[in-house]
Amino acid sequence: MISKNSKIYIAGHNGMVGSAILRILKDKGYKNLIYKNSNKLDLRDQDSTYKFLKKKRPDVVFIASAKVGGILVNQKNKADFISDNLSIQNNLIIGSFKYKVKKLIFFSSSCAYPKDAPRPLKERYLFNGTLEETNAPYAVAKLAGMKLCESYNNQYKTDFKTLVPCNLYGDNDNFNEISSHFFPALIRKIENFRKGKTKIIKLWGNGKAKRELMHVDDLAEAAVYFMKKKIKNDFINIGTGKQYSIIHYAKKICKYLDINPKFEFDLSKPNGMKTKVLDVSVAKKYGWKSKITLKSGIERTYNYFIRNY
């Protein structure tokens, strides 16, 4: 049984997902939390990772450490995205088995779904088609991690589960216009317009691609919820079950700021998948659903951006 005194290791505690999990665990009264900065522990290094797990002997491991980024940085760094992610997750998953971790939660991505899978995306569609080319190396790494967890569960009866979140946003996101995901890039571009640095807001692609978006604190709540729950499924989608176009999100942010800018579309940039919405019925069956509205999420994230950037 997982208790408030269980030893819980959060890999990637400085990132958006890891920091949200750490914050929520503290808020809920968990006292024995383990984390270490990447400059002191390189999770790509097997020997260092194994020594760390052997010394700390955590009861629970959250794998929130990963190399992530938007379309452009994925395309320019394909080898790094697959090799770094494979190394990190292999070392942590295999090491967790080796040192008898009771519960492991691995975070995959909706990018791991085949590009032509029916919508909404059901867990059973995973591993059944061609991936979207713009992030295939990253997706392959995530699929490998999911299959590794599933295989340990099948062969050794471990409790290694995968949560598959939709696009995320919130505190500690990357707000760089080039390397970030679409939503923090929108916030940066819109703030530049609001400050008078630009006269128009240029969006990548045609703005029509649809995405499901969830505040990272919802994912963190789901992670802690499923940490405590005994579940049969190896993979569970975590999302809102709703999707909107990129231009819709841009206009929602502008409405919150009470501005009415002109938008221009850069058709030389890729759109990515046309739609990408998750079927969240399995999570709901287990009693979990997202709570943070888009309006509330925009307000929280924009305020975080203004405070920190």
- The identity of residue 135, as a single letter, is N
Strands 167-169, 33-34: pairing is: unpaired
Q: Is the separation of the CB atoms in 270 and 204 below 8 Å?
A: yes
Is 99 an annotated catalytic residue? Answer: no
Three-state SS at 205: coil
Phi, psi of 228 (to 5 degrees): -90, -10
Three-state SS at 73: helix
Q: Is the separation of the CB atoms in 82 and 138 below 8 Å?
A: yes
Strands 103-107, 60-63: pairing is: parallel
* Distance between CA atoms of residues 210 and 108, nearest Å: 20
Among residues 9, 138, 152, 169, the one annotated as catalytic is: 138
Q: 211 forms bridges with which residues in the sheet?
A: 244
Three-state SS at 248: helix
Strands 167-169, 213-215: pairing is: parallel
* Distance between CA atoms of residues 209 and 214, nearest Å: 16
Q: Is 269 exposed, middle or buried (0-12, 13-18, 19+ CB in 10 A)?
A: middle
Question: For residue 97, which of 131, 55, 54, 140 has the smallest C-alpha distance?
Answer: 54
Side-chain half-sphere of 140: how many Cα atoms within 13 Å? Answer: 15
Q: Is the separation of the CB atoms in 108 and 138 below 8 Å?
A: no
Q: Which residues are catalytic?
A: 138
